[in-house]
Amino acid sequence: MLPVGSRALLVELGGGEETAAFHAEVQRRRAAGLLPGVGEVVPAARTVLLDGVADPSALAQEIPRWEYAHPDDTAAGEVVVPVRYDGPDLPEVADLWGVSVQEAARIHASAAYRVAFCGFAPGFGYLTGLPDACAVPRRATPRTAVPAGAVALAGGYTGIYPRPSPGGWQLIGTTGAPLWDPSRQPAALLSPGTRVRFVPEEP
């Protein structure tokens, strides 16, 4: 646990599953009124930032005594995302997996996903759920422009580009789901802990 300024604490964890479990416990305790003063909670791949902490050193001593289990996969709800598996990198991903293009699409759509954390751009969620064997490298040369709605893979994560931007992830499909809408409350379709299910559509 590392102090960040005078009123924040950065908790480093062992991996994605432990981070997800710790983040869920923080949210549970905050909702129950057991973490007074804790404002923003920001999960990442292996850390959780707790901001607005009145006494970071006291909380740092308390956290190791917490007991918590795997997060409740039903607590944050589920988002269904229709996807057309028509991405330009899908054949390359299928080759890396040693399967046909159709089977690669089936494998991706059959996994149960969870938003581990958000970042890169407003509305961009890093989704876990693919088997470890399906991890793929980023592209050697990033694209200067990736369209909004592109469904993509990098490492063990799946992501959906909420707006046009440069990017180096492997593009396997597209969706029309609005990932970020400032007129909506909340503006982001995906938030940490949310379950995500991809439903294939005809290209």
Is the CA virtual torsion 24, 25, 29, 35 positive or negative? negative
| Mean pLDDT across the chain | 91
197 has a pLDDT exceeding 80: yes
Q: Residues of the chain with pLDDT > 70: what percent?
A: 96
Angle at 174 between CA 76 and CA 172, to 5 degrees: 100
Q: What is the mean pLDDT of residues 82-96?
A: 97
Q: Which of 28-37, 39-48, 110-119 has the lowest average pLDDT?
A: 28-37
- Using the predicted structure, report yes or no on whether residue 69 has a pLDDT greater than 80: no
Q: Is the pLDDT of residue 48 over 60?
A: yes
pLDDT of residue 72: 58
Q: With left for phi above 0 and alpha for psi between -120 and 50, is residue 75 left, alpha or beta? A: alpha
The answer, yes or no, to whether residue 70 has pLDDT greater than 70, is: no
pLDDT at 12 over 80: yes
Kindly tell me if the per-residue pLDDT of 95 is higher than 90: yes
